[in-house]
Structure 1
Amino acid sequence: MSSPATSDREKVVSKLPGWLRQNLKVRAAQHGIEIQKAVEQGITRWCRLASSPDPIDTAGADSFATFLPPGQWDEFRQIASQRGVSLAQGLAQSVQLWLDANPAPEIKRPAVTRRIIVCNQKGGVGKTAITAGLGEALAESADQLHPVRVAKQLQQALQAAEQGRHEDGDTVLVADPLEIENLPGPGLRVLLVDFDPQCHLTNQLGAAPLPMDGDSLTNHMGGNPKGDLRDLIVSVEPETFGDRLHLLPACNDAFLLDVRLSSVRAREAALERALLPLEDDYDVILVDCPPSLGLSMDAAAYYGRRRENEEAGRSGALIVVQAEDSSADAYDLLTTQIEDLRNDLALDIDYLGIVVNLYDGRRGFIATSSLQGWVDIKDPRVVGLVTDRKEQKEAVRVKRPLLSYAPNCDQSVSMRALAREVA
C-alpha cells in the first residue's frame, strides 16, 4: 500500500470513486493547493474524529495514488482497522471532510462592471473571434477545470521572439510547446455586444441579426427605443456556459449610426446611456467594435473610459492586430483617435493590451519581424498571442462558440490565457 518516499513524502496507493476524485481536483485547484496537501489535511481531520462519519458510496472506486508525510498512512491504516472501515472508505471520508471544510470560493465580482472595447481600424484582423473567445473564457464554469496556457509562458514566448534570431538577423519565435495547466474557469457573467453593422459576432454565434424594422442598439443610442434592450439579449449555449454568456445581437441599421449620432446631444455618451441599465446584470461587457474612425468609435472609446473610483486597467481598449504591416497602420489611426478623445474630453482611457491574432511563424520574415515590432511597443504590451489554426474557422462554419466546439485546441487554450492576462 506504500512505497519509498520521494523527497520528504511517501507514495501511497488506495482507491477513490471517480466523482470524488474529480471534486477533489477541482476544489484543490480553486483554492490553489496541491491535491496531496488536501488529502493530507483530510486524513489528519479524519484521524482526529472520535468515530467515522457517515459511509460514502465507493462503488466503482479505482486506483488513486498520492504522497503523504512519512508515518501518516500507517497511522491512518491503524485507525481505519480500529474503526472497522476499509482503507478506501476511510480515504473517501477523509477527502469528503476536506471538501466540506473547504467549500468552493465565491466568484470575485468587480465593484464596477468592466467594459472592454475590442477594436482596430482594420477589418479582418479577427476582432470578432477575440471578442467571442475572450467572453467565452471569462464565462467558463468555476466548477470545472479547463486547459490554460500559464501566464509566464506567454512572456517566455515573447522573449524568445525578442531574443531569438537567425544568423541573417531575422527574428524567430521559438516553437517549443508551452506549459498547460488545468484551472477552474472565472465563472463571470458576460455580455457580448455586437456593435458592428456587418453582424459577424451575431452570425458566428448562431444568433439571428435583429430585423431592420424592429428595436436595436442603434435605436437606443439614437434616442428612439422601441422597447427594453434586455428583450433583445440572447443566451449563448447555456448548456456549456450555464447562462452566464449573453449576446446583444447587431442590426444592419448600425450602418446609419454615425448619421444618427450627429444629431444626438452628448453623442460620445450614447453607447453608455444605452448599456448602463444592463450593467448590474453583468460582471464584464465586451464590445465588438466596427473598423471605423467615426462617431460610433468615439462612443465605444468613451464607454470604455475609466470611471470615477474604478481601478486603472479594469476597463478600456483591447487592440487586436495581426503580424503584418497594415495592422500597424490601422493601430496608429486608432491610437490617434483615442488620444484625441482623451485630450478633447479630459478622459482616462486605458489600453488593456495588444492581442496578436492569427500568428503563424512559418510565414517567415514578415510575420516574425512584425511580431517583434508589437513586442517592442511595451506600452501597451502584448497580452495575447493566438495562432492561426483550423478550429476557429470550423467553429464559425458550424456557428458554435470556439471554446465549446474545440475546448482543448491551441486557440481555446490561448483565449483562456488572454482572459487571465486581462482579468
Structure 2
Amino acid sequence: MSSPATSSDREKVVSKLPGWLRQNLKVRAAQHGIEIQAAVEQGIRDWCTLASTPPAVDTSGADSFSTFLPPGQWDEFRQVATERRVSLIQGLAQSVQLWLDANPAPHVERPEITRRIIVCNQKGGVGKTAITAGLGEALAEDSDSLHAVRVAKALTEALRASDTQSDEVPGGDDPLSVENLPGLGLRVLLVDFDPQCHLTNQLGAAPLPMNGDSLTNHMAGDPKGDLRDLVVSVDDETFGGRLHLLPACNDAFLLDVRLSAVRAREAALERALAPLEADYDVILVDCPPSLGLSMDAAAYYGRRRPGETLGQSGALIVVQAEDSSADAYELLTTQIDDLRGDLQVDIDYLGIVVNLYDSRRGFIATSSLQGWVDIKDPRVVGLIGDLKEQKEAVRMKRPLLSYAPKSQQAIGMRALAREIV
C-alpha cells in the first residue's frame, strides 16, 4: 500500500521484507553512503526493466517494511508484478536483492604505508592503555556490520557544554548525535611497549616470560626467534581476526639500559617491527610513562616517512582534565620537539584525547578541558567519559567494544578512530 508523504515529491510505501534482507540493505546503503529509500528506488526501477523475472528470494518470516518512493513508481511496480505473476512482497525482495547484487560491499581502503600511532604521555594513570585498546578495537570492527558512532559535531557540542554532564560525556545521551556506520575493518596490531604489561593483561593475554623472546630482545639486537611468533590474536568475532597484540614482557624495565649500547638506538623499535608491517594497516604502540630512550625510539617510529602524508602517523597524546597532565604534556612535547630538531625528522601530532572526563569534579575539570581545547594545535580529537564500562571490561579482561559495544565510551572510541584515520 502507499500513502501521501509529508514531502511533496515522494510517497510512503508499506510492504514486507524478510529481516535478513532488510539488514543487508541497511548495511550496504550505509557502506555506499546513500539513503535506503534511494537504494530501493533504484532496485525497483531496474527490476521493472528486466526482460525476465529473476530467481525467487526466500521471503519466509517477512515483516513490515516502509520507505518513500517517487509518485507513481509503486503503481508501476504493482502492474509489472501482476504481469509477472509474483506477489508484491516477492517482487520487492527481488528488487532489493537486485540492487545488492549491483552494488557489492566496497573494499576496505588500506594505506600504502602502514600507519603508526604512538599513544603517549609521560604521566601515568591517564588511561593511555584504555585509549590504545579502544582505538585499536574501533579500527578493526567488522565493515559489514553497523556500529554506533558519535558524529563529529557532537564532540564540538560536548566541548562547548562541558558543564552539563551527569554521568556521561556531554551530549552523549542525545540520540541525534549518534549514527550507525559500518566498521572500518582495518588490520590492527597493538604493541604493548610498557613493562607493566597493562595492555597485555587487560586484553586477557599472558605477559611474555622473562627467559624467552621479547620485543626488548629484538630492539637490543639479541632476538631469540621470529617476532611474529610472539603475536597473539584478540579472539572475538567482533574483530574477525583483524586485531592482534604483541604482548609485553617485564624485561622492558631494562630497555633503556640495553638501548644505551645499541647503535642508532632511536630506530630500534622501527627495526624490530619492520618485518610485521606488511601484515597490518595500523600499528598502535602503547608507550610507557617515560621520557627515556624507549620514548625516543617510539617517537622516531611514528615519524613521517617519505611518501607519507601529513597526519597519517604520529603521536596521539592522552591527558586528563587536571593540572598534572598539563605539566606532563609540556615535558613530552619538549622531548618530541628536541628529537625533531636533533634528527631532522617530522613527527606529527595526531591530536589530544581528554580521557576519564567528569565535569562533576567541578571547576578543575571544566577549566582544564577548556585549556586543552584552547591549544588548537594539536587539537582535541577525543573526549572519553569516566564511566563504569571500561573498568568492568578491564576486570573481565575483555575488549571494551565487545563487552559494551553501545556504551558511551565505545561510541566515543569509534568517533576517535574516525577523527584520526
Q: 1:312-358 deviations in whole A, cap 9, x for unaligned? A: 10000000000000000000000000000000001100000000000
- Partners of 2:49 and 2:240 in 1: how far apart? 39
TM-score normalised to structure 1 length? 0.96
Deviation of residue 363 (structure 1)?
A: 1.1
- Alignment correspondent of 2:228: 230
Question: Which of 186, 202, 205 pairs up with 1:204?
Answer: 202
Runs of 4+ in 1 over 6 A off after TM superposition: none
Query: Residue 319 of structure 1: which of 311, 317, 321 is its match?
Result: 317
Matches within 5 A, 1:167-206: 175=171, 177-178=173-174, 179-206=177-204
Partner of 1:289: 287
Whether the aligned pair in 2 keeps the contact of 1:137 and 1:185 (CA below 8 Å) is: yes
Question: How far apart are the structure 1 equivalents of 2:171 and 2:282?
Answer: 33
* Contact 2:138–2:183 (CA under 8 A) maintained in structure 1: yes
Aligned residue for 1:143, secondary structure, equals coil
Aligned to 2:250, which of 252, 277, 298? 252
SS across alignment from 1:239: coil
Distance 1:69 1:5 in 2: 10
**Match of 2:352, SS?**
strand
Mapping of 1:358-369 within 5 angstroms?
358-369=356-367
Displacement of 1:239: 2.2
Superposition pairs of residues 1-400 of structure 1, within 5 angstroms = 1-7=1-7, 8-161=9-162, 175=171, 177-178=173-174, 179-400=177-398
Relative to 1, partners in 2 of residues 1:111 and 1:372: Cα closer, same or farther, differing over 3 Å?
same
- Alpha-carbon distance in 2 for matches of 1:174, 1:37: 34
Displacement after TM superposition at 1:174 (Å): 5.4
1:156 and 1:52 mapped to 2: Cα distance?
Answer: 51
User: Is the 1:5–1:70 Cα contact (8 Å) retained in structure 2?
Assistant: no
Q: Offset at 1:177?
A: 3.2
Structure 2 equivalent of residue 418 of structure 1: 416
1:201-236: CA deviations, max 9, x gaps?
000000000000000000000000000000000000
Return the offset for 1:240: 2.2
In the superposition, the TM-score normalised over structure 2's length comes to 0.97
Distance 2:161 2:340 in 1: 35
Per the TM alignment, residue 260 of structure 1 is displaced from its structure 2 partner at its CA by 0.1
Shift of 1:253: 0.1
For residue 362 of structure 1, report the CA deviation from its aligned partner. 1.2
After TM superposition, the structure 1 stretch with the greater mean CA deviation from structure 2, 99-108 or 177-186, is: 177-186
State how far apart, in whole Å, the 1-side matches of 2:173 and 2:342 are: 46
Give the superposition deviation at 1:6.
2.0
Indicate if the aligned counterparts of 1:139 and 1:189 stay in contact, CA closer than 8 A: yes
1:16, 1:174 → 2: CA distance?
Answer: 38
Unaligned runs of 5+ in 2: none
**Displacement of 1:157:** 2.1
Task: Give the SS at the match of 1:357.
Answer: strand
Q: Measure, in 2, the Cα distance between the counterparts of 1:55 and 1:186.
A: 33
Cα distance, 1:158 vs structure 2: 2.0
- Structure 2: how far apart are the matches of 1:174 and 1:111? 37
Per-residue CA deviation, residues 253-306 of structure 1 (Å, 9 max, x unaligned), is 000000000000000000000000100000000000000010000000000000
- The code of the aligned residue for 1:384 comes to G
User: How far off its partner does 1:176 sit?
Assistant: 6.7
Q: Is the 8 A contact 2:118 2:285 kept in 1?
A: yes
Equivalent residue letter for 2:307: N
Q: Indicate if the aligned counterparts of 2:113 and 2:308 stay in contact, CA closer than 8 A.
A: yes
Identity of aligned residues (%): 82
**For the structure 1 residues 176 and 269, does the alpha-carbon distance in structure 2 shift closer, same or farther, using more than 3 Å as the test?**
closer
Counterpart residue identity of residue 20, structure 1? L
With 262-271 and 47-56 compared, the bigger mean Cα shift is at 47-56
Cα separation, partners in 2 of 1:408 and 1:274, compared to 1, 3 Å:
same
Question: Judging changes above 3 Å, is the alpha-carbon distance between structure 1 residues 174 and 107 closer, same or farther for their aligned structure 2 residues?
Answer: closer
Kindly indicate whether the alpha-carbon contact (under 8 Å) linking 2:157 and 2:171 is maintained by their aligned counterparts in 1. no
Could you tell me which runs of 5 or more consecutive residues in structure 1 were left unpaired when the two chains were aligned.
166-172
Alpha-carbon distance in 2 for matches of 1:408, 1:177: 12
TM-fit CA distance, 1:182 = 0.2
Q: Decide whether aligned partners of structure 1 residues 141 and 176 sit closer, same or farther in structure 2, where only a CA change above 3 A counts.
A: closer
Q: CA deviation at 1:159?
A: 3.5
Question: Aligned-residue CA RMSD in angstroms?
Answer: 1.1
Tell whether the 8 Å contact from 1:238 to 1:244 is kept in structure 2 after alignment.
no
Once the 2 structures are TM-superposed, how far is the Cα of residue 175 of structure 1 from its aligned partner? Answer: 4.7
- C-alpha distance in 1 between matches for 2:229 and 2:170: 48
Instruction: Check whether the contact 1:194–1:248 (CA below 8 A) recurs between aligned residues.
Output: yes
Q: Are the structure 2 counterparts of residues 349 and 219 from structure 1 closer, same or farther at C-alpha, using a change threshold of 3 Å?
A: same
Distance in 1 between residues matched to 2:171 and 2:410, nearest whole Å: 18
The number of residue pairs the alignment matches comes to 414
